[in-house]
Chain A
Amino acid sequence: SQQGEEDPQALSIQEGENATMNCSYKTSINNLQWYRQNSGRGLVHLILIRSNEREKHSGRLRVTLDTSKKSSSLLITASRAADTASYFCATRGANSKLTFGKGITLSVRP
């Protein structure tokens, strides 16, 4: 069963707006990662945040982690049409496996 649950399931915004996506999980983690999947392609790693970190930035991406609430958020600032994709959160626990959520479909309108 999925560890991560993303919210919302679908998001539609105008180019230039910010997009915020949330992820909740159930058990303790070593790290949480966000991936992007363009239509018909494999997943591409975006950013990783460790369990002892609260916030991380990478270009237009900002990820936060609240281990007390078992939740994370991904913010994409100044969105572009090219950001249109599905976004997945994935958690890594004590073993070597990543557990993925069901994904969020982001549409950025030009």
Chain B
Amino acid sequence: NAGVTQTPKFQVLKTGQSMTLQCAQDMNHNSMYWYRQDPGMGLRLIYYSASEGTTDKGEVPNGYNVSRLNKREFSLRLESAAPSQTSVYFCASISTLSYNEQFFGPGTRLTVL
């Protein structure tokens, strides 16, 4: 039982490049989330997917797109990376049966030059 996994762990991009961050969970959770964490800002919600087939914007969605590929996988895409998107990105999931504990992945550290 791996929990929530994210790839890659580290990534360096040049301004204007695109990339997709991958996230998968093996806990049969319905809801999945993407956050970014910046120094002094805490965690801010980018997008979330309450269930397979649905996605919704969070607090800071601009510059990002998401795909809920199936129940297990939720990807985050940066179409044209900007230096302001330098951050640590966390994926998380939760069971909608309890809406209790949210499980987090280990994070992706992204630098945009």
Contacts and interface: CB of A to CB of B under 8 A. Distances in A.
Interface of A: 1-2, 30-31, 33, 35, 40-45, 48, 88, 90, 92, 96-103
Interface of B: 4, 31, 33, 35, 40-45, 48, 50, 58-59, 90, 92, 94, 96, 99-107
- Main secondary structure, interface of A, reads strand
**6 closest Cβ pairs, A-B complex:** A42-B104, A102-B42, A45-B101, A100-B43, A43-B104, A100-B42
A40 B90 CA distance: 11
A42 B90 contact: yes
A88 B45 contact: no
A77 B48 CA distance: 35
A48 B33 CA distance: 19
A48 B101 contact: yes
Nearest to B43: A100
A95 to B, nearest CB: 9
A2 B58 CA distance: 12
B40 A97 contact: no
A92 B42 contact: no
A101 B42 contact: yes
A103 B43 CA distance: 9
A101 B99 CA distance: 18
Contact of A41 (B35, B58, B107): B107
